Amino acid sequence: MPLDDALLPAPPGTDPWIVMSAVPQGIVIVDEDDRVAWANPAAVELLERPATELVGATADLVEGIAAAAGVQVDRRPTPDGGGSVLLLRGDDRAAAETSLLGEASDRLSGSLHLGRTMALIAELVVPRMADACTVGFVEGRVLRRTGAVVTDDGGVDHVAEEDVPVSTAAALTRRAWRTGSAELHQVVDPGAAVPEGAAWSTLRDLELGSAMVVPLRARGVTLGALVLLRRTGREPFGAADLRLAEAFARRAAIALDNAALYRDRSLVARMLQQSLLPALLPDIPHLDVGARYRPLVMVSEIGGDFYDVFPTGGDRWAVVVGDVCGKGLGAAAMTGLARHSVRTAAIQADAPSGVLAALNDTILSEDGSRHCTVVYANVEPTLGGADVTIASGGHPPPFVLRADGAVEEVPVRGTLLGVLPEPRLTDVAVHLGPGDSLVLYTDGVIEARVDRREFGEPRLRQTLAESRGLSADAVAEHVLQEVADFVRSDQTDDIAVVVVRVPGGSDA
């Protein structure tokens, strides 16, 4: 509407009124009876109502009109306490708030590391919402906290994450997680808002004006608190800022809760995974044994790769590497069953094929929904070498690294275990001489991918050839490192490598 038709009668001719009439932000003055006494032209434009309709209307009615028009309202008391001021913000503020919340949802939902999530929360609000902030996450009697502050040159300094006793938390933080309520402080005591300690000196050195403290709540539990701080020279926080902070805090709390749950699940998964692997490899007389295992990085699900080395009587030793299909607790249960069943079967069966046949029967009788691949080797040291008999149940064939650097595939094949009642299993004999190594591995080695390229058998052969003369442990480490370098951070499966080596030859 034309401004000439919308303007109210001229306010008192003092400078503050002239300024308020000219500013682009909408301003509505509400008297002690909670009715509109005056509004500036920007408010009339934003609310799209004639001036005569606004004057005398209740503040609640004006706030309703603003909500319908998509206008943000920040209500603040006047200095004398006899009325209030409604500050109106149009699409620019609404768009900025929508942008912040949208970015928060996108970035926080992809973060499953607790420390990085806390740092990201601070990064999102400083400097857009605040000049400084603290982020606190409570676990038992420990407070994990971090923060950020705007520097004099316009940059942002991050406060290193630290774990401290809950009792050392700043007063505002303690009150927020105790009451579960958000608070707005237009004048704040720095001692109540900023933690003690040298790491927080940059925040304490700010000339703090206003503050907001918002509890971080998820699933009905207060996890911690977010404290937002502004300098004295910046517009103080208002009610609209508090509403935005609460909306942001809801997203932040969900992200923190998810990160903590993921960390806890990952810890349990790793502990369970380690319980399914040998704590230590045994010392085998006249042989050198090494192994490496690498689980999926930053994945809480338990993989199905396993290995074992154990005596079977006399001078003979069993070396086993397997891979149970799937991941999670079901795969872990099957892994434990397979490892135990192999050890039991090895007592009764001499041939590796007999051990795998017994394992196949066990899998079919216990769980018809899962299967696994296993390679089993009987290793018996001899004078200056070792005799090896190998059977495979659908597993990638082992390689022999000869002392001269030649790499030979062991020609052993067999049927996947847990699928057919009578799998095809055969025994293949191999002799290891001085300096020779037998290398068993899971498919996570050769199937490791980056972009559309696989690590593959040719690259594994080359890696083994480069390992000539190395100890069993060093060979296993070299394979693992080459795969890690190949995939970088894109590992998609567990990896297990076991090496049995006869000392001698051209040892490095």
Read off the CATH number of the domain in which 147 is found: 3.30.450.40
Domains contained in the chain, number: 3
**Residue 218 included in any domain:** yes
Residue 452 is predicted with a pLDDT of 81
**Residue 223 included in any domain:** yes
Final residue of a domain: which of 65, 89, 113? 89
Q: Is pTM, for the whole model, over 0.75?
A: no
Residue 186 is predicted with a pLDDT of 86
Q: Are residues 346 and 420 in the same domain?
A: yes
**Strand, coil or helix: 27:** strand
Q: How many residues belong to the chain?
A: 508
**Residue 274 included in any domain:** no
Q: Are residues 252 and 300 in the same domain?
A: no
Distances (CA, A) of 474 to 50, 308, 478: 83, 18, 6
Q: Are residues 284 and 233 in the same domain?
A: no
Q: Are residues 112 and 27 in the same domain?
A: no
Residue 198 is predicted with a pLDDT of 81
**Residue 507 included in any domain:** no
Q: Are residues 331 and 449 in the same domain?
A: yes
Residue 156 is predicted with a pLDDT of 86
Final residue of a domain: which of 89, 122, 154? 89
Three-class DSSP labels, 278-314: CCCCCCCCCCEEEEEEECCCCCCCCCCEEEEEEEEEC
Q: Are residues 226 and 311 in the same domain?
A: no
**Residue 275 included in any domain:** no
Q: Is the dihedral of CA 272, 273, 277, 278 positive or negative?
A: negative
Residue 135 is predicted with a pLDDT of 95
Residue 91 is predicted with a pLDDT of 64
Question: How many alpha carbons lie under 13 Å from residue 459 in its C-beta half-sphere?
Answer: 19
Q: Are residues 136 and 189 in the same domain?
A: yes
Residue 92 is predicted with a pLDDT of 66
Q: Are residues 186 and 151 in the same domain?
A: yes
Residue 149 lies in domain: 93-269
Q: Is the dihedral of CA 269, 305, 325, 354 positive or negative?
A: negative
| Residue 417: DSSP 8-state | B
What the block records as the tokens of 25 is 């932000």
- List per-residue pLDDT tens for the chain, 508 residues long: 333 333 444 455 456 667 677 777 789 999 999 999 988 888 888 887 887 889 999 998 888 888 877 788 888 888 777 889 998 877 666 777 878 888 999 999 888 889 999 999 999 999 889 999 999 999 988 999 999 898 777 778 888 888 989 888 888 888 888 889 999 998 888 888 888 888 888 888 888 899 999 999 999 899 999 999 999 888 889 888 999 999 999 999 999 999 998 887 777 767 776 777 888 899 999 999 999 998 765 455 666 789 999 999 889 999 999 999 877 767 777 888 899 999 999 999 999 999 999 999 999 988 667 899 999 999 999 988 999 999 999 999 999 999 999 999 999 999 999 999 999 999 999 999 999 999 999 999 999 888 888 899 999 999 999 999 999 999 999 999 999 899 876 666 789 999 999 998 666 5
Q: Is the dihedral of CA 68, 70, 76, 78 positive or negative?
A: negative
Q: Are residues 76 and 117 in the same domain?
A: no
Q: Are residues 316 and 457 in the same domain?
A: yes
CA angle 29, 32, 36 (to 5 degrees): 35
Amino acid at 236: P
Residues 6 or more apart from 297 whose CB is under 8 A from it?
489, 491
Residue 506 is predicted with a pLDDT of 63
What is the C-alpha to C-alpha distance for residues 88 and 29, in angstroms, rounded to an integer?
Answer: 11
Final residue of a domain: which of 89, 116, 146? 89
Residue 372 is predicted with a pLDDT of 93
316-324 and 72-77: which strand pairing? unpaired
**Residue 79 included in any domain:** yes
Residue 5 is predicted with a pLDDT of 39
Q: Are residues 189 and 287 in the same domain?
A: no
**Residue 465 included in any domain:** yes
Distances (CA, A) of 286 to 28, 271, 289: 91, 32, 10
Q: Which residue has the tokens 């490791």?
A: 448
Q: Are residues 263 and 340 in the same domain?
A: no
CATH number, residue 330: 3.60.40.10
